[in-house]
Structure formats: structure tokens, C-alpha cells
Amino acid sequence: MPVSRLNQLMDSYQLNAGRALLPKITLKQLSVFISVYQTGSTSAASEQLHLSQSAVSSALTELEDRLKMPLFERIGRRLHRNDNADAIYIQAQAIMSQCLTLEQYHQYQAGRIHIGASTTIGNYVLPSLIQQIYGNRPDAKVEFFIGNTRDVVSEVEQLKVDIGLVEGMPRPSDSKLIEQKAWRQDRLVVFAKKDSKWLVDITPKRIDKKVSDDKDRHVCYELTTQQLSNTNSKK
């Protein structure tokens, strides 16, 4: 069968795919055919595929019946491929290659994660998270994207990343498209000099840190949001 005619048949199958047509040719038959084509005998193919010779002969006969044409000329113990076999071999190899790719797809995707992170998280938080992932899954494959919150949300919407980590609130319109969960709480730290009006009426908290001079002992101040609001109003 000419290759052009075979391509026409393949196109016809694609047009009829919506009619739930299931091919009667099996992958086993194609594997047997490829092996016989390459080795030239059913006995060699049976050794290569770890099948009995009768199973190989039966699969090859079934394939020829399905195709309604012979693929080999049987001369003695050898099988000599004909023009039909040459055309079918090209298509059979393509089909088997695609099937092997599908089988390996899960292995390729397993352990792969795409993370999107806003700038601050990407620079200061994400590295330790990635380190934890590799600690738990040494075979993991982590890919990441760093941008502003809007860009990260956009990447999530377009399914370009599996998860987005941001410290800003996404736009209200995004709430209908993606699932949002609080994953960490941030702390606001205020730096000010000792006599700053920001620290009026705020009791300092000493830091337990050994220093050479007690006068230089470090102190810090903890402000609630209400206190911070009050100090801001004193400006």
C-alpha cells in the first residue's frame, strides 16, 4: 500500500473519531509486527519479545487479517517483507513511540512543581522552601517564577504555575477564578530612635542577649496595630 494511501486512511479515521470508532488493531500486534519486520522471523521475534513462537505467529496473522493484506512473503523459515510492510512499519513505529511517550509522561511529571512567588517572598522565603522540598524529595524538579503579585496571580490563572505565593491581596475579581488561602502571617517591624514619639508610653522589652556592657543591652518594642495607629495620629 502506498504511503499516500495509508495517510488518507489515517485522515479518514480522524474524521470519524467522533463516531466512537475503536481500532481493532492492538499494540501487541504492532509490537510483534515491528519485531518480525526487524528480525525476519517469528522465532527471533519471540525471543526478543519474550513470547512463545505460536503467540507471535498468531498476533501477526491477526494483524494481516485486520489490515486485509499480507505483510510478508513466507519463504522457508524466513519472512520477507513486502511493500505493504514497509508502509505499515513507518506508521507502527510512530504509534509505538507515542505510546511509550504517554507511559513516561507520569514519570516526567511526578515530583515536578511550578511555583510563582512575589518579589519579597521569592527572594527571602522561597529559597528555604525549595530547600525543604529537595530535602524531602531529592528527585523533585522545582521551577519558579518571581514577579509582582499581579503577575503571579496571572500565572496561576493561566495554569502556568501550580501555586502562587504572594504577600499582597489579589484583586477582588480574582477571587472567583482562583482559590485563596492564608499560609503565613507577617509581622510589621518599626525601627525608631530611643526618644521617638512613636515609642511614647510604650514599655520596652529587653532582648536576652549577652553583651559586654549592660548599658548597651538591646531592647525592642512590640506595638499592636491599635498602638501603631495611635502613634501615627500623634504626627
pLDDT in tens, 71-126: 999 887 788 999 999 999 999 999 998 888 787 766 656 678 889 999 989 999 99
Q: How confident is the model at residue 48 (pLDDT cuts 50, 70, 90)?
A: very high
CATH architecture of 112-176: 3-Layer(aba) Sandwich (3.40)
Note the pLDDT of residue 1. 44
> Please, where in the chain does CATH 1.10.10.10 lie?
3-108
The residue with greater pLDDT, 176 or 98, is: 98
- Give the closest residue to 139 by CA, choosing from 102, 175, 112, 179: 112
Question: Which residues are CB-contacts of 133 (< 8 A; sequence separation ≥ 6)?
Answer: 113, 140, 142
Of the ranges 116-130, 156-170, 174-188, 206-220, the best mean pLDDT one: 116-130
Residue 181: DSSP 8-state = -
State if pTM tops 0.85. Answer: no
Report the C-alpha gap between 131 and 137 in whole angstroms: 10
Proportion of the chain above pLDDT 90, given as a percent: 30
Please state, rounded to an integer, the average pLDDT across all residues of the chain: 78
Where do we find the cell 530535602?
Answer: 135
Residue 17: pLDDT band with limits 50, 70, 90: very low
pLDDT of the residue at 35: 93
DSSP H or E stretch at residue 55: helix 53-67
- The residues of the chain that CATH labels 3.40.190.10 are 112-176
Q: Is the pLDDT of residue 15 over 60?
A: no
| CATH architecture, domain 3-108 | Orthogonal Bundle (1.10)
Residues 48-64 have a mean pLDDT of 93
Q: Which residue has the cell 509581622?
A: 187
Q: Decide which of 146 and 6 is more confident.
A: 146
Phi, psi of 158 (to 5 degrees): -90, 5
Q: What is the pLDDT of residue 106?
A: 66
